[in-house]
Amino acid sequence: MRKPLIAGNWKMHGSTASAIELADTLGSCRHLFEGADMVVFPPAVYIQHVAEQLVKNNIAVGGQTVSEHAKGAYTGEISAGMLKDLGCSYVLVGHSERRALYVETSQSVAEKFKAAQENKLTPILCVGESLLERQQDKTFAVINSQIAAVIDLVGLEAVCNGVVAYEPVWAIGTGQVASPEQAQEVHATIRKQLGEGGSTTRLLYGGSVKSSNAAALFSQPDIDGGLVGGASLEAEEFLKIAQLTL
Ligand code: PEP
């Protein structure tokens, strides 16, 4: 049995005050979604404040990205050890915004995944196809190769010990959510790629999840929760979505 996981990606939004306020509300409502795990990904500069509020309430905190390097002359980067030090237990790797805007390749994403696990962080590997790739019937090939790059570096078992988030690029921040059937089809294919060990791996759907569409998505057999962007910034809406994972 896979425990549902609801993840909130705050991206580059907020302030110290708003991050603490949001964390406070989530923490005080922990009893509403006891059967699920929750992790939030604040901007790096607020991680420590948020972790102070949330970890005591059994809500995890993570980094939105991580360096593949352990230390050194990498201006602006944050290592997995530093995230761990701040109280993180998860990290996003390969978010499509990182792949597209910061030119992260599947190889560097795999190295970030490895660095995370070496520092006892659970990586959430984000994969997904662009609209053009879907239109050209390349969805499964793209996702398969994004996951294969990580398997090649760390092995199948290590990937199964992480989390995979299917986030179609065309659905992120667009309001254009994948249908439950479209999402399930991809999730089932990912689980098949992970083999026997993948039966316990949590697979999340991400892309314009809201309380109005979450129930249908989360009721699919291979969808174990969600990675939520915009809607995770509104406490009430995110709490509703969290409850719909149960
Ligand atoms: C995301 O950033 O991972 C995401 C899914 O964003 P949104 O929910 O806003 O589409």
Give me the residues paired with residue 206 across strands.
227
How many domains does the chain fold into?
1
Q: Does the CB atom of residue 9 touch ligand 1 within 6 A?
A: yes
Atom 7 (ligand 1) nearest CA: 229
CA of 167 to the centre of ligand 1 (A): 8
Q: What is the mean pLDDT of residues 145-173?
A: 98
Q: What is the mean pLDDT of residues 2-29?
A: 98
Burial class (CB in 10 A: 0-12, 13-18, 19+), 58: exposed
Average model confidence (pLDDT) for the chain?
Answer: 98
49 is a catalytic site residue: no
Residue 42 above 90 pLDDT? Answer: yes
- Count the neighbouring beta carbons within 10 Å of the beta carbon of residue 85: 12
Q: Which of 68, 95, 111, 237 is catalytic?
A: 95
Residue 46 above 90 pLDDT? Answer: yes
Q: What is the DSSP string of 19-78?
A: HHHHHHHHHHTGGGGTTSEEEEE--GGGHHHHHHHHGGGT-EEEES---SSSSSS-TT--
Q: Does the CB atom of residue 222 touch ligand 1 within 6 A?
A: no
Instruction: Please give the torsion angle defined by the CA atoms of residues 83, 71, 154 and 130, in that order, rounded to the nearest 10 degrees.
Output: 70
Q: How far apart are CA 157 and CA 151, in angstroms?
A: 8
167 is a catalytic site residue: yes
Residue from 97, 131, 163, 172 whose mutation best tests the ligand 1 pocket (most atoms within 8 A of CB): 172
CATH of the domain at 171: 3.20.20.70
Q: What is the DSSP letter of 91?
A: E
CA of 73 to the centre of ligand 1 (A): 31
pLDDT tens digits along 58-84: 999 999 999 999 999 999 999 999 999
What percent of the chain lies above the pLDDT cut of 90?
100
Q: What is the mean pLDDT of residues 130-141?
A: 98
Residues of the domain holding 237:
5-243
Q: Does the CB atom of residue 8 touch ligand 1 within 6 A?
A: no
CA of 207 to the centre of ligand 1 (A): 5
Q: Does the CB atom of residue 42 touch ligand 1 within 6 A?
A: no
Residues 6 or more apart whose CB falls under 8 angstroms from that of 96 comprise 126, 128, 167, 169, 172
Two tokens at 9? Answer: 């990606």
User: Is there a contact between 61 and 87 (Cβ–Cβ < 8 Å)?
Assistant: yes
CA of 165 to the centre of ligand 1 (A): 11
Q: Does the CB atom of residue 228 touch ligand 1 within 6 A?
A: yes
24 pLDDT tier (thresholds 50, 70, 90): very high
Atom of ligand 1 nearest to the CA of 209: 8
Instruction: Please give the torsion angle defined by the CA atoms of residues 35, 187, 121 and 111, in that order, rounded to the nearest 10 degrees.
Output: 180
Residue 1 above 90 pLDDT? Answer: no
pLDDT number for residue 84: 98
Q: What is the mean pLDDT of residues 9-13?
A: 98
Rg (CA), the chain: 17
